[in-house]
Structure 1
Amino acid sequence: MRSSFFYCCLCFLFIYTCVTVSPVWAQTVVQGKIVSKETKQPIAGATVSAVGSKQATSANQLGEFRLPVDTSCKELEIRAMGHKTLRTPIPANREAMTIQLSPNAETIEEISINHRNKEKYSNKNNPAVELIDLVIRHKSKNRLSGKDSLSFEQYDKLKFGFIDPKISKRKGMLGLNFIFQNVDSVSYPDKKLLSLYLEESNAKVYGKKNPSKFKKVVYSNRKTEFDKRYINNPNIQQFMNFIFQQVDVYDESIFLLNRQFLSPIADNGKIFYKYYIQDTIFNEEGYFIRLNFQPRNKTDLLFKGTLEISMDGSYAVKKASLRVDKESNLNWVKDGEIGFHYLKNKDGVMLLDSTRTFMVFSVRKGETIFADRISINSNYDLQSEFPKGVFEGAPIEYATNADQAQPRRPIPLNNAEQMTYTNTERLNNNPTFKTLLAVGYLVSQGYYSLGAFELGPLEYVYSRNNIEGNRFRLGGRTTQALTDKAFVEGYVAYGMDDARVKYFLRTAVSLNGESIVTFPAHYIEGSIQNDIMEPGQQIGFLKGDSFFRSIRKNRPTKWFDTRAYQVQHVYEFGNHISITTGLTHAERQTIGDLRLISSGNPDQLLTDIVSNEAHIDLRWAPFEKFFYRNLTRKTVIEKHPVFNLVYTKSLSGFWNTTYNYDKISLSASKRLFLNQLGYADVRVVGGKIWGTLPYTMLELPNVKQKDDRHRIDFDMMNPMEFVADEYVKLGFTHQMQGFLFNKIPLIKKLNLREIWGAQMFYGKLSDRNNPYLSDDVVHFDTNSDGEILTHVLQTEPYWEGTVGIDNILRVLRVEYVKRFNYKTLPNVPKDRFRLSINISF
C-alpha cells in the first residue's frame, strides 16, 4: 500500500515538473538597452517584441529591457514613438544588447506627464501637441472614409425618455401608471431610465474612396410608433437621427444637436484646445498614450475628455471619450458624452468598433430627459469587390420588408427595453394620452385632427387687409388615416367688406402605388383657386395672408381678383434629381385701387390679364433628407446644396392668352458649416424674362411666394417697390452661435448668440418693358397721395442688412434691420427692430 502511494506521488511530481518546468527549459532571456542613434539618450517606453510570437515588453525610464523568449526566436522588433521601427537579430551569445533607433521625420522630442495646474500651458515644446500633430497628419489614412474600399455590418439602437422619473403614488394616475413599471436600472450606472422611444436597425454599409461614394442599405428596422393622427413617426425617426447623427472622431467637426463641435483632432484643434499627456499604456494590443484635452474657452462648442493613441507608427485613435462641457453655449443640456472604440483587424488596421452618445437634458427643475445612441460595427471587409450597382439610388435605402424583419442584436435588449414596444401600444389606446396628443398637435402644428381629415392651420383662421377687411377662413386637409397615396387640401374664406367667398382646392394622386410624400415620389396633382392675390403671387394653399402678416407695416395693398387652374406631374429619381412639369391658367382682374394705365394711351385702362403657361422644373438636391408632417414634407437643411432650374413658356393663342413670353430662373442654396464660427445660409436666385409685359408679370422681388428652400425675404422693401425682367437676388444669413459673446466675461454666462446677414437685389428693366420708354406696357401705379409705388433700379443694387442677438432667455431673438440705399424713395421704411420666438438647443 505504501509503495503504491509512493509510486503515485512520483508520477504526479513528474507530470507537474513537465508541465511547469519544461517551457523554461525552452526559453532564454534577452536583455539590453535602447537609445537614440542621434542623441545616445535612452528611449523610455519603447516596445520590444519577439518576432513570430506574442512575447513583448517595454523599456523602463533608463531604456533598459528584459524579455524572456523562446530559443527558436531569432529576431526582435523595436518600436518607439518618433523613431523608425527596427528589426534586429538576437545575438547568439545572449549578451546584453545596445540597440540604437533612428529618428524619423515625425519626431516628438520627449514625453512627460505634467500637472497642468503647476505651470502655464504652451503649445511650444509640448509633447502632447507634437503627438496631436502626428495624429492629424495620419488621420486621412486612419478614418473609415480614407479606406480605398470597405464594407461592414452596422447595428444601431436609439432611445430617449426620462431619467429618474418621479413616480406618482396617487392611485389611477389617469391610467398611465403602467409606464413607470418600465424603468431601466441596468443600461447606465446610477441612473434609472424610462424609455419612451426606441429604434433598432441593421444595415450593410459600403464605402469607397476614389471616387468618394457611400451607401447604407437598412434591411431591418424596428421602432416604437405613436398614434399616426397626431404624430408622424417617420418625422420622429428623421429628427432623432438628424440631431444625433452617426459621427467619427476623425471628422473635422462633430455634428450634435444641430450644432458643430470641433473635434479634438481637427486640423486647427490646437487653436481651441489644450493637450496634456496623461499616461502610457502597455497591453496585449500594443503601446498607447492616453492624452487629455480640454477647451481653452469652456463656453465655445468644444469637448473635454481623453484620447488613447496607438504608438505603432499609425498614430491611430484607439479610444476616445468626448464630454460636453456644462458651460458650453447650449440650451437645456445638462450633460453629454460621446465614446468611440476602435479595434485592430488582422492586418493591424484600426477600425471603428462602436460609438455611444449619451445626452442629458434638463427640462425644468427635477425633470431630465435622456437620449442614448449605440452603434456597433462588425464584419469589416476591406478586400472584396462591391456588388454590381450597389451605389445606385439614394445613399440610404430601406429594404421593402425592413419593418417586418427582426433585428439582429449583438447586444440583447434588457427587460425594460423590450417592454418599451409593448407600452407604446398601450399608450396609443389610452384616452388621456390621446387627449394630450390632440392638444399638443393643435398648439404646435396649428391643426385639429378629425381622423381622416384635419382642420387648420390655426394662424390663417383670421386675417385682415384693405380689400376684405376682416377675413375668416376655414381650411383643412386629408391625412394618412384616409390614405397616403392621395391627398386633398383646401379652404373656404369670406371677407366682411367685399362680402365674397373665396376658395382653394388641391389634390394629388400617386402614380407608382407608393406614398405621394415618401421619397422618391411619383404623382400628378391639380389645383384650383379663386381668391384675391398680390401681383406676381403664385397659386397656393398658404399664400402669406396669415394673421401675423396682416399686422405688419409693409403689408400689401394692391390686389388682383384671381381665378387660376394648375395641373402638375412630379417624378423623383433615386439620385435626388426630380422633374416637375405643369400647365397653369390664370385670369386676373384689377380690384380696389390697383390701376394699370396704358403707357401709350392714358385713357386706356388694363383691367384683365389672362395667361397660360407651360413650365418644367429640374431640381437636384444631393443627399437630401426630409422632415415629414402628415402628407407634407420639408427639406432637412444640411451641408449639401439644392439647385433648381425652371423654364416657363407662354402658350400664345391658347385659351385667350393675353401675352407671349418666356421665363427662365436658376436658384441655388447651401448651408456652410464654419466650425467654431457657426453656420451660414447662402441663397442665390437669378432669372430673365423675354417678352413685352405689364410690370405685374415681371419680377417683383418682395412678393410673398411659396415656402421653398430658395426664398429670400426683403423686410425693408415695400410690395411691388422694384421691378425687373433680368435680375439676381442674394440672401446671406450667418448664425455665429456665440463665438464673440463667449469671449466676454459675465456676458458669456447668458449664452447669447450673434446673428447677421444681408439681402441684395439687382435687376435691369429692358426698354420694351419700361413705361417711360415704351408705349406698349402700363404705367407704374401710385398711392393715395399720387406717389409712384414701383421703381426701376439705378446702377447700384438694393441692399439691406440685419444684425441681432439670439437666445435671449433661451427663447427670444431681437434683430435690427436696416435699409442701406434707395432711402429717398417715398414712404419706404429705413430701419426697424423685430422680435421673434426662436427655440433651439
Structure 2
Amino acid sequence: MRRISLLKLLMLIFTLGVAAQHGAAQQKIIGRVVDDVTGQGVPQASLKLRGTADGTSCDSAGRFFLTTNARLPLQLVVSAIGYEELLVYVDTLQEHLHIALEHDKNIIDAVEVSRRQKYRNRNPAVDLIHQVIKNKRSNRLESQPRVSFEQYDKLQFGLVNPSEQYNKRMGSLGFFFDNVDTLTSPGNKLLTIFMQEQLSDVFSKNDPKAFKKRVKSIKQTDFDDRYVNNHNIQSYLSYLFQEVEIYDDNIFLINKLFLSPIADNAPVFYKYYIVDTINTEEGRLIELNFEPRNKTDLLLSGKLRITTDGRFAVQGATLRANKEANLNWVNDITIDLQFRPNEEQYMFLVRSDVDIMFGTNKNDAVYGRKTTHNYDYDFSPSFSDDVFKGAPTEILTSARDNEKLVHQQRPVQLSPVENRVYTNVDSLNNNRTFRTMLAAGYLLAQGFYPAGPVEFGPLEYLYSRNNIEGNRIRLSGRTTLGFSEKVFIEGYLAYGTQDGAMKYFVRPTFSLNGESVATFPAHYLQVAVQHDIFDPGRMLGFKKGDSFFQSIRSNRPTKWMDTYAYQLKHLIEFGNHVSLQSSFIHHRRRAIGDLEFVSSGDEPVDIPHINTNELEFILRWAPKEKFYYRNLTRRTIIEKHPVFTLQYNRGLKGFWSGDYAFDAVRGSVSKRFFLNQLGFADMTLSGGKIWGTLPYPLLEMPNVFRDEDTRHEIDFSMMRSMEFVADEYVRLAFEHQLEGFILNKIPFIKKLKLRELWGGKMFYGRLSDVNNPYLSKDVVHFDTDADGHIMTHVFDNKIPYWEGKVGIDNIFRLLRVEYIRRLNYTALPNVDKDRYRVSLHLNF
C-alpha cells in the first residue's frame, strides 16, 4: 500500500481546518476480554461483580469499563455466549485487566441463520421490530420528565500503520512515530495525531422539551495557531463523528445519513432475523441480526439486543456500514452502543463507541474514533429552567483554562500511548523542521504566506486580468494573532499595467468586548477605505471577485466604475446565534472605459458621478450554527438548521454629496433538507424591494459576486454580466444530490458508485416605471456592448429567468461532471445556451 506521508496528512488537516466526579472510595476497573485462541476481542461479553448489582458489557472490540463502590478484593464473573464462564479475582487495582475466555466444549459452536429460503416480510423478527418502533417514543431518554448526567467525550484522529521508514527518514521528527498503539485495533498500529477530551454537564426535560450540554473542561492537542486553526480541526471531526441516537430515524456520520434499523420505515429497507435469546442479570434479551435489502444503499448491518419486559427497548447495538455501500475513502464504520436500566427499568445509554477506518480500497490509512461515557445519572434532579438559556451546546469560557478537571475526573484513564500524544505534539510545535512544513502546507491550503505578525495573500489574487487594467498585480495581506487578538487589519495595493493607476484597500477591526475579534460571539467595530474599479452592482470588500479564476470566466465583467468607498461597521453577536450588523457606507462612482452614464431625459447628458450615502442594518439568525473560521472569515457547517437574514438600507440624500434617497429591504433563508435514502437537497430563497428613483447600477443585478454571507450565495452560471436589473425581485436556487439512489440499482453501473444530482436556479424581478429608462426621464440609459447591443434587460410577460443542471458525481471518486442549460431568454444577444462543467469534488 502507498502510505500517506506526514506532509500529506498535515495538508489534509489544513484543508479541514486551516483549523464525572466520583466519590473517593469508588473503584475503576478497565480491561479487555479476548478469545484465548485467536486473541480477538469478545464483543458483548458480560461482566458482573459477585455480591453486588454492578456490572457492564464489552464493546465490539472486547473493551470494558466498570465502576463500583465495593471494596477490594472483588470477584468478577465474566461470561459470553459460546464461552465458559470465568471467575476473576481482583485484589489490586491493576492498570489494565486482560481476560482470556475459553470456548465452551458442551454447546454448539455457532448459530447459523439460514437465508437460503425466500425472506418473508412477515416473520417473528419483523413483528419484534414493529414493537420496538411502536415503543420508541417512550424508550427515548428525552421521554423522562427530567434527567441530568455527566458526559465524557474522547475524540481521536491519526494514521494507521505508519511506515517504519518515517522513523529513519524524518530525522528530528522520528520520535513522533514511535508512539503507536498496538492494542486497540488488533493487527494495526495506530498513531494518534489529534486528540480531544471534554467533560460536560447534560440537562434534559420533557415538558416542554429542552436540552442543554454545558462543556466545562476541554483538553486537546494544539498545533501552532499561526498555521493551524485548532478550532476548525475539532469542529470538522465533531461534525463527522456526531452523537449517535439509535431511536432517531437517521444516524448522521461522515456527512452521510444512514437509516436507523429501528426507523419508522426501516422494515422497507432492512431484513431482520432472530438469532438467539440471552438470559442476563438485567432480564431476558432477544438478539436480532439485520441487514440491508440493497447493500449499495446507505444502510447498516449488525446486531440488536431487545428487552422482553414489554418495553421492547434496545439494550445494546452493534452497527456496521456495508462495504458495498456508496462511500468513498471509508473502509469500515463500527458503532457500538451500550444501555443500562434505571430503577424503573428504562434503558439509558452508558457508552458509545464510533470507529471509522479511512483509506483506499482495502488498505487503511487514517482512523478516527469517538468514545462517549455517560454516568452519574440523576432521574429526579433539581435544576432551574434557566439552565436551558442560550445555545443547546455551550462551551464555558473557562473550559480551556480548566483542562486539569479532565485529568481529575475522566472516568477512564488514558493509556500510556494516549498520554504521550499531548507531550509529543508540544514537542513537534517546537521543532524547526515541523514548523517549516506547517508554513508550506498553510500556503498551499489557504493561499497565505505567514511572516510573523502578518501573512501575505491570498495567492489567487496576486495576478488577474481585465479589459481596463490589463495585467493586474496585487499585493495583499492581513495581520495574525501574533500581532494582536483584539485588532485585526487587512488590506491590499493593486496596480494595472494598462491604466497605470494604483488601487488600495485597508480595513482595521477593533474588538469591543475585550475578546478576540475572530471568536464567537464577536463584538467589534470596523472601518474600511477602498479605491478600486468595480463592476456595477458590487459592494466594497477585501475579495471583490477579481481573482485569477474569476478573471478567466466567460461571463466576467467588462464594464467598470472607478470607485471610492468608505464604511463604518458595528457587529454584535449573541449566544443564541442572533447577530446585528449596523453600517454607514459612502460610495463615489465614476464611469470609465466604454461605460457611460447617460441621462434618460429628453436631452441626454453625461452624468459624471453617482454618489450615495446609506445606513445599513443586517439582522441574522442561524440557530445552532457551527462554522469554520479563519480571522473574520466564516463558513457555515451545513446541517439541517436554516440560516435567516433580514437587511434594511436607507439612502441619505444631501449629506456628503449624496445624490439619492431610497429605502431597500432584502431577506434570505437557506436550508438543507435530508431526504433519508433519497440523499439531501439544498435550497436558498431570497427576495427584496427597493423604493426610490435610482440609476440601474444601484438596483439589483443578480450576476454580481458579493462578499457576503456565503450561505446565501447564488451564482448564475449562464447569465451575462449586467444582463438583468430589477428593483423588486426574488431568487431561488435548488440542488438535489441523490447519493446514488437510482444508479445503485442498475447492474454493472452500481459498481462504479456514481451519484446523480440535479438542480435549478431562478431569478425574477420587476422594474418600476420610475426606474425604467424607457419610461422615466430621471434615471440613466442601459449601456451597450461593443456590437451596439443593449446589455441590460427588463423582465417582461412575468416570465422568470431559469437555468437548470443535471450531473454525475463521484467519477473515479474525484470528479463531478455537470450539464448546465439556460432554459429561457435565449433569444437575447450573445448568450450561451448550455455548458459542460468538470470540477474536482471530494466527498465521502
TM-score range, shorter chain: 0.7 to 0.9
Choose 1 or 2 for highest CA Rg.
Answer: 1
CA 647–407 in structure 1, closer or farther in 2 if over 3 Å, else same? farther
Query: Residue 601 of structure 1: CA displacement?
Result: 3.5
**1:676 & 1:400 partners in 2: Cα distance?**
40
Aligned 8 A contact 1:300 1:329 in 2:
yes
CA 580–630 in structure 1, closer or farther in 2 if over 3 Å, else same? closer
Q: Does 1:122 align with 2:123?
A: no
Superposed, 1:388-537 pairs within 5 Å as 388-405=385-402, 406=407, 408-537=409-538
Counterpart of 1:689 in structure 2 is 690
The structure 1 segments of at least 4 consecutive aligned residues displaced by more than 4 Å after TM superposition are 169-172, 363-367
Query: Residue 741 of structure 1: CA displacement?
Result: 1.4
Letter in 2 for 1:806: D
CA 645–411 in structure 1, closer or farther in 2 if over 3 Å, else same? same
**1:503 & 1:169 partners in 2: Cα distance?**
47
Counterpart of 1:837 in structure 2 is 840
SS at match of 1:176: helix
Query: Residue 144 of structure 1: CA displacement?
Result: 2.3
SS at match of 1:203: strand
Letter in 2 for 1:749: K
CA 701–441 in structure 1, closer or farther in 2 if over 3 Å, else same? same
Query: Residue 114 of structure 1: CA displacement?
Result: 8.1
Letter in 1 for 2:617: I
Indicate which of 219, 228, 235 corresponds to 1:222.
219
SS at match of 2:387: coil
Aligned 8 A contact 1:638 1:671 in 2:
yes
Superposed, 1:605-644 pairs within 5 Å as 605-644=606-645
**1:788 & 1:580 partners in 2: Cα distance?**
37
CA 760–283 in structure 1, closer or farther in 2 if over 3 Å, else same? same
Letter in 1 for 2:818: E
TM-score under structure 2 length normalisation: 0.85
**2:422 & 2:632 partners in 1: Cα distance?**
25
CA 135–513 in structure 1, closer or farther in 2 if over 3 Å, else same? same
Per-residue deviation, residues 26-71 of structure 1 (Å, max 9, x unmatched): xxxxxxxxxxxxxxxxxxxxxxxxxxx999xxxxxxxxxxxxxxxx
**1:480 & 1:522 partners in 2: Cα distance?**
17
Name the stretch that deviates more: 636-645 or 161-170. 161-170
Query: Residue 445 of structure 1: CA displacement?
Result: 1.1
SS at match of 1:389: helix
Counterpart of 1:28 in structure 2 is none
Q: Does 1:738 align with 2:724?
A: no
**1:707 & 1:265 partners in 2: Cα distance?**
42
> Percent identity over the alignment?
55
Q: Does 1:203 align with 2:206?
A: no
Query: Residue 210 of structure 1: CA displacement?
Result: 3.0
TM-score under structure 1 length normalisation: 0.85
Letter in 2 for 1:332: W
Superposed, 1:779-790 pairs within 5 Å as 779-790=781-792
SS at match of 2:436: helix
CA 650–170 in structure 1, closer or farther in 2 if over 3 Å, else same? closer
**1:233 & 1:364 partners in 2: Cα distance?**
30
Letter in 1 for 2:821: K
Q: Does 1:645 align with 2:646?
A: yes
Letter in 2 for 1:837: L
Letter in 1 for 2:201: K
Query: Residue 631 of structure 1: CA displacement?
Result: 4.6
Counterpart of 2:69 in structure 1 is none
Query: Residue 407 of structure 1: CA displacement?
Result: 5.3
Letter in 2 for 1:371: G
Letter in 2 for 1:529: Q
Query: Residue 138 of structure 1: CA displacement?
Result: 0.9
**2:489 & 2:515 partners in 1: Cα distance?**
16
Aligned 8 A contact 2:296 2:326 in 1:
yes
**1:600 & 1:268 partners in 2: Cα distance?**
66
Aligned 8 A contact 1:537 1:703 in 2:
yes
Counterpart of 1:815 in structure 2 is 818
CA 54–425 in structure 1, closer or farther in 2 if over 3 Å, else same? closer
SS at match of 2:126: helix
Q: Does 1:828 align with 2:831?
A: yes
Aligned 8 A contact 2:166 2:177 in 1:
no
Q: Larger RCO: Structure 1 or Structure 2 (Cα < 8 Å, ≥ 6 residues apart)?
A: 2
Q: Which runs of 5+ in 2 are unaligned?
A: 1-50, 54-110
CA 454–54 in structure 1, closer or farther in 2 if over 3 Å, else same? closer
CA 170–671 in structure 1, closer or farther in 2 if over 3 Å, else same? closer
Per-residue deviation, residues 86-121 of structure 1 (Å, max 9, x unmatched): xxxxxxxxxxxxxxxxxxxxxxxxxxx983422011
Counterpart of 2:103 in structure 1 is none
CA 187–159 in structure 1, closer or farther in 2 if over 3 Å, else same? same
Counterpart of 2:324 in structure 1 is 327
Letter in 1 for 2:515: E
Aligned 8 A contact 1:517 1:633 in 2:
no
Counterpart of 1:341 in structure 2 is 338
Name the stretch that deviates more: 393-402 or 586-595. 393-402
**2:703 & 2:206 partners in 1: Cα distance?**
45
Query: Residue 412 of structure 1: CA displacement?
Result: 0.7
SS at match of 2:491: strand
Aligned 8 A contact 1:232 1:630 in 2:
no
Per-residue deviation, residues 674-730 of structure 1 (Å, max 9, x unmatched): 111111111111100000011111111111111421111111111111111111111
**1:579 & 1:447 partners in 2: Cα distance?**
30
Counterpart of 1:250 in structure 2 is 247
CA 520–692 in structure 1, closer or farther in 2 if over 3 Å, else same? same
Aligned 8 A contact 2:211 2:392 in 1:
yes
SS at match of 1:516: coil
Aligned 8 A contact 2:693 2:778 in 1:
yes
**2:508 & 2:804 partners in 1: Cα distance?**
40
Aligned length: 731
**2:253 & 2:440 partners in 1: Cα distance?**
30
Query: Residue 628 of structure 1: CA displacement?
Result: 2.0
CA 323–195 in structure 1, closer or farther in 2 if over 3 Å, else same? same
Letter in 2 for 1:247: V
Letter in 2 for 1:821: N
Superposed, 1:62-77 pairs within 5 Å as none
Q: Note the aligned Cα RMSD (angstroms).
A: 1.7
Superposed, 1:296-311 pairs within 5 Å as 296-311=293-308
